[in-house]
Chains A and B, each alone.
Chain A
Amino acid sequence: MSDYRKLIIERLEDVKTRNKQVASVYNNYSKLAEALIKKQKYGAPRSGVSLEENEELVKTKAEMADLYRSKCQNDQRLINANHAIIEYEKKTNALIAEKSKLEAVKHNLAGKYARTEVELQRLKSDNELMNDERIATNATVTMMTQQIQEMENDRIHFLNKIRELNATRIDMMNAEVALEEQRRHSRVQDMITSAINDVSDKDLKLEAMLKKMPETNANGDLLLGDSLPSRSEFNFECDEGEVNDVLWLDGETFATGGSDRKIKIWKTDGHGGQTRIDVLAGSNAAFTRIDYERDRKHLIASSNDKNVRLWNLDTSRLMSTLSGHADQVTCVKFYQSHSAVSGSADRVIKIWDLQNQRCSRSLFPASKILDVATNMGGSPSLFATGHFDKKLRFYDGRSSDPVKTVEMGGRITSLDVTMSGCELLVSTRDDTITLMDLRSFQTVHCYSAENYRTSSDSSRVILSSGNEYVAAGSSNGCVFIWNRNTTKLEKRLSSSSENPIFSLSWNPTGYGLLSSSKQKVVTLWK
């Protein structure tokens, strides 16, 4: 079975053996061909050995020379390169230094930039804040502009209202003036009527009086008007103590009030005597001031029991008690039509509504009030008050602050207004009496005397019925009478006693002067 395999192997070996010679020849041929190619490619053949050696030697020497030359050049290049390196190192160091500087500058700039950023952020927030504030302010401005517009409208409205009220006030003042004139006219008519009725009864009295009167003018005619008293007609004790005030009610009737807490009404009989016809009671302390309204026959009095009382003399009945003051009421006066003004030691001025029996207004001058005067001619609502602090204050009843304040030389004890209402008589505790023009608040006249002394804080000074004379009582019991216009002391009436005189009252007929004294004595001077 395997004989074919052996046979094949043997035959393959035979073929290989026979090809061996050819293979060696072929391989050698290839090698020779390659060698030839290399020789052709890389070099020329050499001719002789010795010649070759000599040529090589010459060539080597030439190469050595070239090498030495190259070496020199290379050395020079090396030196130059070293110099260049040194120079480049210097430049590099300089650049490094500059780089460091620039780094520092960069750092500074970065810091500055950061700070600027922070500041920018802050300014931005501030700007936003200001914008918000501006918007709010604009809104506020808009709102306030509207308010201004409204207030302007209100102002115009109020101006119109003020104009209307001024017109109303003028009308009311005109009405008041007309009413006053009418009232005075009625009073004069009544007096004339009563005089006519009583003329028969009084003829004898008049003749007696004329006989007693010492004065006549150059022509010998009888002088009607104020009669300057010269002697004491009579005097009488009418109270238990001081007689603080005395007031003629009409030509033959007068009232007294004092520490006996009673108002007594007296009547003179023309024969040097008087008769008590009535007594008004109700007070718990001494009376201080009396005022009388002839038209309605109302008598009002202030008292130290802190009250003001109003009586009707026709019925002799107490009509009302006005309470509200916190201390002694020092003075009271009828005011306008149905009102009264009272002053008190509690430093409060009260205006009373007599119809409604209540206080309609309180004023606070911060000083004790000693006297009050009303019926100013310039304005029916104007009244004056004299104060412990030496100040004379003028008030308009519709406002709380004084419209005028005048400084005097001493405490103001008494005030009296002329019949015309244009002048005010002021008595002060510096023993002087001043006549003041109410239109300019300037002093017109000043009255004083050598022995004249103000008797008390409430001593009274008066004008005569015809306003010809000024009369005042002194602390020594004398009555001083000055001529109003000439300020000449016309008369000094002395009494037997030395008691201070508290109050005076001139008879409306001009004939007869009452004085009240500290010691129960009332004197009638004629």
Chain B
Amino acid sequence: MDYEVSRKVWESQVPVQFTLQSGGTLGDPLPYYTMLPRFTYLALALPKALTSFNRREDGETIHVEKVWLEANGKPLKMYIPIGVINDQANLLETDSILEISVKTSTAPPKFQMVDRDMMEAMFMQNIKEADYLKTKAEVTQSMMKDELPQLWRSVVNNNFDEFWGINRKLMETNNEFSHVPLRIYYKDEPFKQALLTIKHTDGSLRTIGESIAEILRLSPPTSSESSTPTSESSSSSSDATPSGERRLISHGIDIPSHTPLIFAAKNLSYPDNFVHIVISV
């Protein structure tokens, strides 16, 4: 573990503005402004915003199960860390505020409200999936019963030391990672995930740029047809060309494409042990 990188990654924050759009007769209350850690989830932040909105005495009480969230005109996926949501929303600008609209109208079909308990279950499932990719789930299976819930509690309570007291087992295994848990967010499609080893067949370390090129090459046929010539031309070009043409955004920064995949897996992953990378074309 690289303490400096991990610490800075943990302490990264996102400025968020919650704006209630209920269309009440007395007008909407003022927006709720707060700084949220990148690794947290909307399921944890939304109750605080609603508490602020319900503090007005002249409005109706708004219940969490009757609202849905929207950003940039699209319903939000509440199970994705806020940092990733912010990276997707600010592809063109690097320092803008994440604006989330809290709506009380009927939710669109694609929106799925995720409450705290559901989020906890999904979080622990992600950790197990990541560990399966790395060690065939040996570490999570040998963990004590209370350690996974403790990881979740440290995320909720923003406790770095407590989190890494247990997460160290997941990152510093006896053997090398079999595969690297990596998720690619490309355009408006669901994230992409593939089996990626740490090293090439010749023993050299695989880089993030190579991994992403490989994942994009394995895209579905429809999108691959449209993107194949570009990827192939890009990969066949010199090293300077790909970094200039494609930005690999994670934790709000551009990750150098020559970063080893193993380094990213150990130091740039989110608390659910996945490396979430948003690609800006």
Contact = CB atoms under 8 A, between A and B. Distances in A.
Q: Do A and B come from one complex?
A: yes
A16 B251 CA distance: 11
Contact of B34 (A5, A9, A26): A26
A138 interface: no
Interface string B22-48: 000000000001110000000000000
Interface string B1-41: 01011001101111100000000000000000111000000
Interface of B: 2, 4-5, 8-9, 11-15, 33-35, 52, 55, 94-95, 97, 251-256, 258-260, 263, 268
Contacts of B251: 12, 15
A15 B253 contact: yes
Contacts, number: 66
Interface string A492-522: 0000000000000000000000000000000
Contact of B12 (A9, A15, A37): A15
B2 A19 contact: no
Nearest to B52: A33
Contacts of B9: 12
B199 to A, nearest CB: 15
A27 interface: yes
B15 A18 contact: no
Contact of A16 (B5, B8, B33): B8
Contacts of A4: 255-256, 258-260, 263
Nearest to B55: A37
A8 interface: yes
Contact of B35 (A3, A5, A26, A37): A26
10 contacts: A3-B256, A8-B259, A11-B253, A12-B9, A12-B12, A12-B253, A14-B253, A16-B12, A23-B15, A33-B52
A5 B5 contact: yes
Contacts of A9: 4-5, 8
A7 B5 CA distance: 11
Given A8-B268, A12-B8, A15-B253, 11 more contacts: A4-B258, A11-B253, A12-B12, A13-B8, A15-B12, A15-B251, A18-B94, A19-B35, A23-B35, A26-B33, A30-B33
- Which of A4, A7, A8, A26 has the largest count of B CB atoms less than 10 A from its CB? A8
Interface in A9-43: 9, 11-16, 18-19, 22-23, 26-27, 29-30, 33, 37
Contacts of A14: 253
A164 B144 CA distance: 126
Main secondary structure of the interface of A (DSSP, over half): helix
B51 to A, nearest CB: 11
Interface residues of A, number: 22
B12 A8 contact: no
Nearest to B17: A26
A30 B259 CA distance: 39
Contacts of A22: 15, 35, 95, 97
A175 to B, nearest CB: 139
Interface in A35-65: 37
Contacts of A19: 13-15, 35, 95
A5 B263 contact: yes
Nearest to B38: A15
A26 B17 CA distance: 10
Given A26-B34, A26-B35, A30-B34, A8 B15 contact: no
Interface string A60-75: 0000000000000000
- Which of B4, B35, B94 has the largest count of A CB atoms less than 10 A from its CB? B35
Nearest to B95: A18
A103 B131 CA distance: 80
- Which of A14, A22, A27, A37 has the largest count of B CB atoms less than 10 A from its CB? A22
A143 B249 CA distance: 129
